[in-house]
Amino acid sequence: MTAPVLADALGPRGRRTARIVSVVTAAAVAAAVTLAFHRLRDNGQLDADLYRPFTQWAAIRFYLVGLLNTLKVAAVAMVLAMAIGVLLALLRLTRSLVLRVVATIYVEFFRGLPLYLLIIFSAFALPNYGIDLSLMTALILGLTVYNSSILGEVFRAGILSLDRGQTEASYALGLGYWQTMLLVLVPQAARRMLPTIVSQLVTLLKDTSLGVVIAYEELLRRSQIAAEFFGNTLQSVAFAAVLYIIVNYSLGRLAQRLEVRQRRRLGAGAINVAGAGEDLAIVAAQGEAGRADR
């Protein structure tokens, strides 16, 4: 938990207010939990039968395979999106007007569309044009196209944030445009943007659940199937939600740690790109960095 930066040690009156607010908050939380408990019990949602599947290996396995599919799709889409993202960033920074325009149109077009639309297009419209993809490939295609446009912007911002001296030094050494970019600028930009890239990975991982609309058996779809089979929608889907929270929260923490490290190393150099993860752990970063300095 981050320490509050807006108040110093409370005086007697402040402490009293804080105590009162604490008690009221605790009471409100307790009331909410009790209410939820009664709701669940009165509607028979606490019956052991509804939870029994989650004690059986077959059901757990069913979920884990779903999670595995989710991770597989996310991993493939992320790798492809990063590769295409780097390419887009480089194209947007070339001197060739045509390439710049093409890359800009790609980025602006796909960044402005809902992923939902791209995924149903890949799965249901492409066969009409004679392109028949498996559900998994369709999902990966949608995710890749969308995320590459976002990562393209991330990499571009990263490259632009680097000191000009880097570019000038490489040119002075006789490196060409592509060599400068790939050997000097992109590696530095990628490191600098690592926290943003990881939080984009969290977003991508959550977005794989759109597989549910094309009936690809990732985690959410499988929880839906389990819900129909066991007749316990609330429990089955909530179980998947818990798995999502565990995975995403861990990745989110990782992004935060990376950002903290980054800030310590670069001062305020870690940049934040609009449209990306939105995971701004500035307090945590400043707090922890401050502590490390001391």
Partner 1 sequence: MDVVLDNLDEFLGGMQGTVVLTLVSFACAFVLGVVVAGFRVSPVSPLRFVGAAYVNVVRNIPLPAIFILFYFGLPNVGIGYSRFTASIIILAGYTGTFVAEAVRAGVNSVARGQAEAARSLGMTFPQTMRTVIVPQALRTVVQPIGSVFIALIKNSAVATVISVPNLTKSVERVVTDTAEFTPVYLGAAIAYLLLTLPSEQAVGWIERKVAIRR
* Nearest residue to 157 via CA among 109, 86, 108: 86
* Nearest residue to 146 via CA among 120, 121, 112, 123: 112
Choosing from 16, 31, 34, 39, the residue that interacts with partner 1 (CB under 8 A) is 39
Q: DSSP letter for 95, please.
A: S
Choosing from 75, 175, 237, 254, the residue that interacts with partner 1 (CB under 8 A) is 237
- CB-nearer residue toward partner 1: 178 or 249: 249
How many residues comprise the chain? 294
Residue 62 binding partner 1, by CB under 8 A = no
Residue type, 169: A
Residue 58 binding partner 1, by CB under 8 A = no
Q: Which stretch binds partner 1 (CB under 8 A): 9-17, 54-62, 86-94, 258-266?
A: 9-17
Choosing from 72, 100, 206, 264, the residue that interacts with partner 1 (CB under 8 A) is 206
Q: Which stretch binds partner 1 (CB under 8 A): 55-63, 78-86, 164-172, 202-210?
A: 202-210
Give dist(CA 205, CA 155) in Å, integer: 19
Choosing from 238, 266, 290, 292, the residue that interacts with partner 1 (CB under 8 A) is 238
Give dist(CA 122, CA 134) in Å, integer: 10
* Rg, the chain, Cα only: 24
Least distance in Å: CB of 137 to partner 1? 18
Residue 18 binding partner 1, by CB under 8 A = yes
Q: DSSP letter for 231, please.
A: T
Choosing from 33, 34, 43, 266, the residue that interacts with partner 1 (CB under 8 A) is 43
Total residues at the site for partner 1 (CB under 8 A)? 70
Binding string to partner 1 for residues 158 to 187, with x set by CB under 8 A, is what?
Answer: ------------------------------
Residue bearing tokens 């008690």 = 23
CB 64 within 8 A of CB 219: no
Q: DSSP letter for 127, please.
A: G
Q: Indicate the burial class of 95 (C-beta count within 10 angstroms; 0-12, 13-18, 19 or more).
A: exposed
Residue 7 binding partner 1, by CB under 8 A = yes
Phi, psi for 191 (deg, rounded to 5): -65, -40
- CB-nearer residue toward partner 1: 39 or 61: 39
Binding string to partner 1 for residues 90 to 119, with x set by CB under 8 A, is what?
Answer: ------------------xx-xxxxxxx--
Give dist(CA 86, CA 100) in Å, integer: 13
Segment 261-290, which members bind partner 1 (CB under 8 A)? Answer: 272, 274-276, 278-283, 286
Q: Report H helices in 94-218.
A: 97-111, 115-120, 135-161, 164-172, 177-179, 186-192, 194-207
Q: Which two tokens stand for residue 57?
A: 């290996």
CB 91 within 8 A of CB 100: yes
Residue 202 binding partner 1, by CB under 8 A = yes
Residue 8 binding partner 1, by CB under 8 A = yes
Would you tell me which residues interact with partner 1 (CB under 8 A)?
1-2, 4-8, 10, 14, 17-18, 21-22, 25-26, 29, 39-40, 42-43, 45, 108-109, 111-117, 120-121, 124-125, 128-129, 202, 206-210, 212-213, 220, 223-224, 227, 233-234, 237-238, 240-241, 244-245, 248-249, 252, 272, 274-276, 278-283, 286
